[in-house]
Structure 1
Amino acid sequence: MSSYSYNTFFALSLLAATALTGCGTDSVTLQSVSTSNSSVIDTQAVDNSFVGESGVSTVTSNPVEISTPVVEKSAPEANPDFVSTTKNANVVIPVLENDNSPDAEIVRLDIISWPNAGELVVEANGSVIYSPHAGFEGSDSFVYQIEDENGEIASALVDIRVSCDAQAGECSYPVRLSWSIEKSDDVTGYYVYHGLNSGDYPDRHWVPNLETVFEIELADLGSHFFAVTVVDKDGQESGYSKEAIIVL
């Protein structure tokens, strides 16, 4: 990065501004059980009035092979979910919406691993209501299990992100600003300027000479603009360094 000279004896370089801030079918062959070619003999009786020839008729049966498909039962499929909410705000999670049960209806939903930082309520329609503990901010999770009419089961993880409410001004975002200077013997310190518009810096922060790093927590989303000046032992202040921009 290029250097910028102020008051002819300072060369200040603004180095960086950094935001610190988831069936098949099997063929089964059934074979009839029989002895080798069996015969059924039909014998006709002859009485005294019969005119003609008596005889016998023979019916022969052979083994028959029958192929019958057997359909395997498919287990239901439970898929992971991810939701987000803000601090102290409940969220309804329709966990069954992305689950599948091809062979039978899902008849049961159980929580088998509970969240650490919130409470759950399972609704009759299969939705789950998550309520974060008061003031909690961070990540939480739970595991649920579904069961179909055939007794087949499946389970899935639900990840939950609980964040601050930016619209309510509850969020803060740490930012670190660093710079360098070629000659610092006559420097007593620096001013870090900050604003929400380029070239307009209503906020000013003093940084002693031994430090060339400044950290600040910002509450507003959007663009933030920074510049640094040098102050010598006589109290004279240089012009602004090159502007640095952070977008939150």
Structure 2
Amino acid sequence: MQTLTTIPTIYIFIFSAIALLIWSIWLAKKWVNRLDDHQSTINATTSKSSYFFPATLIFVISSIVLPFLIILPVSIFNFITKPSYPATITSYTSEWVTDRNSKGIKTRTLMYDAYVSFQDQHGHVIKSIQTNVSSAQQPIIGEHIKVLYADGDNIVQELTIRNYILQFAAFFMTFIMVSILYSIFAYAMNFNMKSLQKFWYILIFRITIPLATTAMFACFIYVIFEYFFLGNPNAHPIWVAIICSVFALALLPVIIHFVRGNKNEDA
């Protein structure tokens, strides 16, 4: 009998795609029918084309969410169970990555992959093993970082602030997508929407906007600090520091408003 690990990947992909397609069409029909119930001006018979956009939207969101619902628990499990080791960056590789910006213009970015060496819990020296994070910032040979490693791994997981930020961003994005899917499902199934309305208000105006604004402010401040106090290791021109200073000053009143608003609510 075949186990999940022995089933060819293409079969798993096809089965997942069919399951997502059935789910998307079913939920889209429920959603559109619920909308029709609230709009008396719409004809009693709904055309099949009216289901296309909702079904596509649900399918796209579900396709994004499903892999992360598998990857994130595995990543969290690794954080909890895998031993950590102090490692030293010994080398790196680089390659040009081609992408398109918002205007459709091709851009090229030089991406770096760091390789580290360390001694594991058995006393074995693991030499030149690749880390799991690629970056546009050139690694520093000799820099000490912490990594997660289990016997037999071909790649190590960095325990750096950058990796924590990526993990948090992936978790937050997945949470938003799951919340959108549940909201569509709740509306389609005629659930009470008052609690969801309050949830979205808190999520958008009390969490997402303050968090995004604070993150932008912190990025601008870090670039300024790096330029003037760390010797400008990324060789930014002076206009980068000036622009970041302007935007940081522009965001400062918003940050103060968030802080004062939270204090007033606590009072």
TM-score in terms of structure 1 length = 0.19
Greater fraction of residues in strand: 1
Greater fraction of residues in helix: 2
TM-score in terms of structure 2 length = 0.18
Highest relative contact order (Cα 8 Å, sep 6+), 1 or 2?
1
